[in-house]
Chains A and B, each alone.
Chain A
Amino acid sequence: DVQLLESGGGLVQPGGSLRLSCVTSGFTFSSYAMTWARQAPGKGLEWVSSISGGSGDRTYYADSVKGRFTISRDNSKNTLYLQMNSLRVDDTAVYFCANWVEGSKILFDYWGQGTLVTASS
Chain B
Amino acid sequence: DVVMTQSPLSLPVTLGQPASISCRSSQNLVNSDGDTHLNWYQHRPGQSLRRLIYKVSNRDSGVPDRFSGSGSGTDFTLRISRVEAEDVGVYYCMQGTHWPPTFGQGTKVEVK
Chain B, interface residues (CB within 8 Å), range: 20 to 34
* Neighbouring A residues of B46 by C-beta, 8 Å: 113
A-B contact count (CB 8 A): 55
**Chain A 45-82, CB within 8 Å of chain B: the 1/0 string?**
11100000000000010100000000000000000000
Stretch touching chain B among A13-21, A24-32, A83-91, A100-108: A100-108
Cβ of A113 and Cβ of B48 under 8 Å apart?
Answer: yes
Q: Is B55 an interface residue (CB 8 A)?
A: yes
| Cα-based distance from A4 to B49 in the complex (angstroms) | 11
Give the chain A neighbours of B50 by CB distance below 8 A: 111
- The proximity string for B residues 86-112 relative to A, scoring 1 for CB distances below 8 Å and 0 otherwise, is 000000101010011111111000000
Seen from chain A, the residues whose Cβ lies within 8 Å of a Cβ on chain B are 4, 37, 44-47, 60, 62, 96, 98, 105-114
